[in-house]
Amino acid sequence: YPSGNLAIIVTQETDQLICIVQEDEPRTAKIRALFQSDGRSTCYYPNGDEWINMSIHGGQYLDQAGSRVRRWTWPNLSPGPHIPLSPIFISLNRHVGVRILAQDKIFISFLAMGRQAKFNMGTKVQGSAAGRLPPPARLGEDELLLLAFRVRILQLFDRMRGCLNFPSSEQWNKMQPPSYLMTQAVKILELCMAADISDELRSSIKAIVNA
């Protein structure tokens, strides 16, 4: 971002590409979207609630109350009648937009200071693969540990703010972390279950995010 904060992370693990969009914040940067080259993607509202969710079969668009506004299926890949997609464009913030035109045309665009970068995270799944889900994306040990420590650091910053706001009270120590941090902790644990890591490391990551 023009502020110097990290906006988009693209990482590769074996044959998987993962694109993560972060909010323009210096310390408590929320994950606003996660795109995977196996066809699974999720976009989130600023408060951490799910906005758009997609799989190799189709997707759905939710409003901020959690109600489904629309859903669709990709052509020839889902059982039952085909539900066509009407093109979708959303702005995650003033710099990052997401345009969904087709299964293989899912664009993340970044615009700042008169210059633009565009990523296509769409994928075209062959018809023969329609009856089975692709293997889950797997992150390496280093990436999982970094994500876990990032959430832990944000949790500590949140507790520090609570202490500063209520210096003479013990109530801040009983406050639950923000919902977006709880959501991110759950996502990391789900990634751990899909990753080829030792049980010891999986337990360590769980202890970090749940501390």
Q: Which two tokens stand for residue 167?
A: 């210096």
pLDDT tens digits for range 166-208? 665 555 555 666 677 777 788 888 777 777 778 888 888 888 8
Could you list the beta-strand ranges (E) of 74-190: 88-91, 96-102, 105-112, 115-120
57/148 Cα distance (integer angstroms): 30
Confidence band, pLDDT 50/70/90 cuts, at residue 18: confident
Question: Which has more confidence, 134 or 157?
Answer: 157
E strand or H helix that includes residue 198 = none
Q: Of 42-46, 68-72, 145-149, which gets the smallest average pLDDT?
A: 145-149
- Residue 74's closest CA among 110, 127, 118? 127
Residue range 96-143, pLDDT digits in tens: 999 999 999 999 999 998 889 998 988 876 544 444 444 444 567 778
Given a cut of 60, is residue 78 above it in pLDDT? Answer: no
Q: Give the count of alpha carbons within 13 A of 124, CB side only.
A: 3
3-class SS at 151? helix
